[in-house]
Amino acid sequence: MASGTHADGHAHDEDAIGKPGIASAVTRTVNIDMSDSMRFTPASIQAKQGETIRFVIKNSGKLKHEFVLGSEKELKEHYQVMKKNPEMEHSDPNMVTLAADQAGEVLWQFSKAGKIDFACLQPGHYDAGMKGKVQVSKSQTNASAGEHQHHAQSKDTL
């Protein structure tokens, strides 16, 4: 009975934000720059439901920065922990921490439509506005079903 249920309470919001991607399923690469101006470039990314993206992240600054995907709630909670424990080292599939002039990557599959946030959780960086979002649009199969419904509703209003 070692199924994938999260009955132990450690869901990590993975269902809400997607899951670690596999290299063979990557559909495109998105380059992201992190700078000491406390910004991600780009800070807004479009994705499609089901898409697996290779995020290639470069720290062009002199300070340590990180890229962490998560729900806004999860990122804020994690940020509070980081402020109390600034030397805490952590490594999860949804994130990469980079020293000055380093590059790294995160492979991620977006399983649900909606907004997924990303941020730098180094103390002071999130508060300074170092955050962004991935807007995940519904996959075509769901969109065409929705369109079909819309046409049915249009006929009813005539």
pLDDT digits (tens, 9 = 90+) for 11-37: 444 567 999 999 999 999 999 999 999
Query: Residue 87: its pLDDT value, please?
Result: 76
pLDDT tens-digit readout, 58-68: 999 999 999 99
- Are the beta carbons of 109 and 20 closer than 8 angstroms? yes
Query: Residue 109: its pLDDT value, please?
Result: 97
- Are the beta carbons of 41 and 132 closer than 8 angstroms? no
Among the residue ranges 2-6, 75-79, 153-157, the one predicted with the least confidence is 2-6
- Are the beta carbons of 49 and 109 closer than 8 angstroms? no
Give the global pTM: 0.79
